[in-house]
Amino acid sequence: MSQRSAGSLASSRRKARIIALQSLYESDLAGHDPLEALDRDLAEEEVDAAAAAYARHLVEGVARERMEIDRKLSQAAPAWPLDQMPPIDKNLLRLAIYELLFDNRQVPMRAVINEAVEIAKVFGSESSSRFVNGVLGTVVAGQVNQA
């Protein structure tokens, strides 16, 4: 794969993650179906087919695995009950935990964590990137210790 192709794939995946985050955030706050929210978001955004497909894959995966994802999230951040966690951070962590622990596409752990941290810098609060990095580090360490 050329460097240009790799960069294009990375930007396509980032766009997919952002759209998935927006859809999950809307679902979490307004109680809307996450896939309906995704359909609206995709209709409003200009994204290529690969980004749209990856966003759908992420939203479907998080929706399907949400109970287990939330259990892992609660274990990794015991000082932050889910109902008190900032919604952007919580949904970004759900996405990243899905990619890290449940997705069979084998995105490198470091890439998933870096993407989540970068997205947190844009959409979260001043401390979101540190919080997201710390929680995901705990999740990954927990998986290594269980292996």
Domain definitions of the chain by residue range: 3-146
First to last CA, the chain: 32
Would you state the structure tokens that stand for residue 100, as one six-digit string? 């890290």
What pLDDT shows up at residue 6? Answer: 45
**What pTM does this model have?**
0.89
What pLDDT shows up at residue 12? Answer: 87
| Whole-number percent of the chain with pLDDT over 70 | 90
Mean pLDDT of all residues in the chain?
90
Question: Which CATH fold would you assign to the domain 3-146?
Answer: N-utilizing Substance Protein B Homolog; Chain A (1.10.940)
Q: Is the pLDDT of residue 104 over 80?
A: no
Q: Is the pLDDT of residue 4 over 80?
A: no
Per residue in 34-54, pLDDT (tens digit) is 999 999 999 998 889 999 999
d(CA 26, CA 33): 9
